C-alpha cells in the first residue's frame, strides 16, 4: 500500500509550530497531536516551537523574532517544511513561505492530506476530492502542488501539480459541481442499501469517537472482523458494518465502525464526509468510544459532541465506552466499571472496557442486549425505533 511504502521511505523533516493565542480553549504546548498528524502523513517532526501571542500577526502570524527562530530551526535541522497547529490565512501562509524559504502548511491542510492518502473506497476518494477542491477554491495558490505530489510519494517535488496551479476559480467551481454530482449518485446507492437494511428491521449501532480512541479495535473485538486499526490518526475513513449477535437479546444488531473525529475538523471535510457521517445520524444508538488513557479525554469528548451536533446526531442515545482500561495506571483504575458520566449536563451510561484485553466487553454486550430489549421488547419482530428512551437504567 502507498501509505506503507511512504512510511518506510525516508521521511521529510518538518518543524512544528504552535501559537498559544489568548482565548483559545485548548492549546497543545507539546504539539503532541500535530506531531501524530505529521507522522500519520509520513512526515518526521524534527523540532517543535511554541509561543504565546495576544493576537496573530497579520502578516506572519507570529512576530518577526519568532519567525527568525523558526528559520534557524529549519536550517539547523535541514527541515523541508513547517507545520502550524493553527489555521493560517492565505496571505500569512504566503508571507511565511517567502520568509522561511520552505513550504508552510497548517493543520487543515495536513488533515486534508491524510484523508487524501488514506481514502480507499470510491466514495471516500470523492469526498476527499470535494474537500480539497473546496479548500483550494478559497486559496488559489500553489497549495495544490503539495497535495498532488503525494501521488508520487512524499518528499518529491514538482509533478503533475504544476498544471493545476493554473486552474481558475470557474474551473474549480465546475469540478466541485461534478464531484458533488458523483457523490450524490453514490449517496443514492447508499440510501438504497440503507432502506434494505431498514426493511430487515435491524437495530443500528454506530461506533463514534475521537480519532485513535480504539473504535476499530473494539469493532474487531466485538464482531471478530479485521478492520484496519493502527496507532495513527484517521486509520479508518470508510464505514464498515457487521452483524453482532447478542445472546441475551436473542438477536443480532448491526454495528458500524466509521471515521474518527478531531478538534478543528476542517469544515469542508465535515461537509464532504456527510455521507459517511450519515451512518452515525441514522443509528439507533451511538457507542461513543473515549481513550480514557489520554489526559485530554474531556476535551476530546466535547469535540466529538460538537461534531455530532453539527451533523444532527446530538439527540441519539449514547453509551460512553471508556476504552484502554488496561493502559491506566493502577491508581487511575476506576472502582466500578459501570456508572454514569455527566456529559453536557446530562448523565450518560458509561462502561470501562479494554478492546485490547477484552475486559468489560461482556458487560457491554449485556448492556446492549438490555437496550435492544427495552426498545423493542423480547419479541423478534422489530419496527424502527423513532423515539428511544434516554435513560434505560
Ligand X SMILES: Nc1nc2c(ncn2[C@@H]2O[C@H](COP(=O)(O)OP(=O)(O)OP(=O)(O)O)[C@@H](O)[C@H]2O)c(=O)[nH]1
Which residues bind to ligand X, rule: CB under 6 A? 209, 211-217, 229-236, 260, 323-324, 326-327, 354-356
Could you tell me which of 183, 300, 301, 313 has the C-alpha nearest to residue 256? Answer: 313
Q: Report the residue number, 93 or 241, with the smaller CB distance to ligand X.
A: 241
Grid cell listed for 319? 453509551
CB under 5 to 8 A by kind: which of ligand X, Mg ion, none does 212 bind? ligand X
Q: Report the residue number, 80 or 290, with the smaller CB distance to Mg ion.
A: 290
E strands within the chain? 12-21, 43-53, 81-84, 104-106, 204-209, 240-246, 251-257, 285-291, 318-323, 338-343, 346-352
How many CA atoms lie less than 13 Å away from 145 in the CB half-sphere?
15
Q: Report the alpha-carbon distance of residue 233 to residue 262 in Å, rounded.
A: 9
CB under 5 to 8 A by kind: which of ligand X, Mg ion, none does 70 bind? none
CB under 5 to 8 A by kind: which of ligand X, Mg ion, none does 136 bind? none
Handedness of CA 121, 126, 127, 128 (dihedral sign): positive
CB 53 within 8 A of CB 21: yes
DSSP category for residue 173: H
Does 213 participate in binding Mg ion (rule CB under 5 A)?
A: no
Does 216 participate in binding Mg ion (rule CB under 5 A)?
A: yes
Could you tell me which of 137, 204, 122, 125 has the C-alpha nearest to residue 172? Answer: 137
Q: Report the residue number, 222 or 372, with the smaller CB distance to ligand X.
A: 222
Other Cβ atoms less than 10 A from the Cβ of 344: the count is 10
Build a one-symbol-per-residue string for 224-243: x at contacts with Mg ion by CB under 5 A, - elsewhere: -----------xx-------
Q: Report the residue number, 145 or 216, with the smaller CB distance to ligand X.
A: 216
Residue, CB closest to ligand X: 260
CB of 306 to ligand X, least distance (A): 16
CB of 40 to Mg ion, least distance (A): 12
Q: Which helix (H) or strand (E) holds 223?
A: helix 215-223
CB of 78 to Mg ion, least distance (A): 34
Q: Report the residue number, 229 or 308, with the smaller CB distance to ligand X.
A: 229
Q: Report the residue number, 149 or 215, with the smaller CB distance to Mg ion.
A: 215
CA distances from 260 to 126, 213, 230, 265, 330 (A): 18, 8, 12, 10, 28
CB of 32 to ligand X, least distance (A): 14
CB of 229 to ligand X, least distance (A): 3
Residues lying near Mg ion in the complex (CB under 5 A): 215-216, 235-236
Amino acid at each position: 500500500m502507498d501509505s506503507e511504502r511512504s512510511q518506510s521511505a525516508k521521511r521529510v523533516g518538518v518543524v512544528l509550530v504552535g501559537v498559544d493565542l489568548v482565548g483559545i480553549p485548548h492549546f497543545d504546548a507539546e504539539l503532541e497531536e500535530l506531531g501524530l498528524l505529521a507522522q500519520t502523513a509520513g512526515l518526521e517532526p524534527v523540532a517543535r516551537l511554541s509561543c504565546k501571542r495576544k493576537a496573530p500577526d497579520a502578516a506572519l502570524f507570529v512576530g518577526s523574532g519568532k519567525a527568525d527562530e523558526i528559520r534557524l530551526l529549519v536550517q539547523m535541522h535541514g527541515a523541508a517544511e513547517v507545520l502550524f497547529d493553527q489555521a493560517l490565512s492565505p496571505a500569512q501562509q504566503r508571507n511565511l513561505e517567502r520568509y522561511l524559504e520552505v513550504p508552510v502548511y497548517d493543520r487543515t491542510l495536513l488533515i486534508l492530506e491524510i484523508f487524501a492518502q488514506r481514502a480507499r473506497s470510491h466514495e471516500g476518494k470523492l469526498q476527499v476530492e470535494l474537500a480539497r477542491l473546496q479548500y483550494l477554491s478559497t486559496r488559489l495558490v500553489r497549495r495544490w502542488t503539495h497535495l498532488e505530489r503525494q501521488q508520487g510519494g512524499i518528499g518529491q517535488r514538482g509533478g503533475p501539480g504544476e498544471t493545476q496551479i493554473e486552474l481558475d476559480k470557474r474551473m474549480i467551481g465546475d469540478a466541485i459541481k461534478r464531484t458533488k454530482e458523483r457523490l450524490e449518485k453514490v449517496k443514492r446507492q447508499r440510501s438504497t442499501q440503507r432502506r434494505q437494511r431498514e426493511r430487515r428491521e435491524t437495530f443500528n449501532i454506530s461506533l463514534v469517537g475521537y480519532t485513535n480512541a480504539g473504535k476499530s479495535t473494539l469493532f474487531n473485538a466485538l464482531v471478530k472482523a479485521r478492520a484496519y486499526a493502527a496507532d495513527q490518526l484517521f486509520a479508518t475513513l470508510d464505514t464498515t458494518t457487521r452483524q453482532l449477535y447478542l445472546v441475551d437479546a436473542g438477536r443480532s444488531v448491526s454495528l458500524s465502525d466509521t471515521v474518527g473525529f478531531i478538534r478543528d475538523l476542517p469544515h469542508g471535510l465535515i461537509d464532504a464526509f456527510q455521507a459517511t457521517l450519515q451512518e452515525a445520524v441514522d443509528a439507533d444508538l451511538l457507542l461513543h468510544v473515549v481513550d480514557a488513557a489520554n489526559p485530554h479525554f474531556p476535551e476530546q469528548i466535547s469535540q466529538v459532541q460538537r461534531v455530532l451536533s453539527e451533523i444532527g446526531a446530538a439527540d441519539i442515545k449514547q453509551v460512553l465506552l471508556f476504552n484502554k482500561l488496561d493502559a491506566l495506571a493502577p491508581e487511575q483504575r476506576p472502582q466500578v466499571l459501570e456508572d454514569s458520566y455527566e456529559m453536557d449536563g446530562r448523565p450518560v451510561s458509561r462502561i470501562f472496557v479494554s478492546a485490547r484485553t477484552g475486559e468489560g466487553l461482556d458487560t457491554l454486550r449485556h448492556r446492549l442486549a438490555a437496550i435492544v430489549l427495552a426498545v423493542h421488547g423480547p419479541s423478534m419482530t422489530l419496527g424502527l425505533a423513532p423515539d428511544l428512551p434516554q435513560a434505560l437504567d
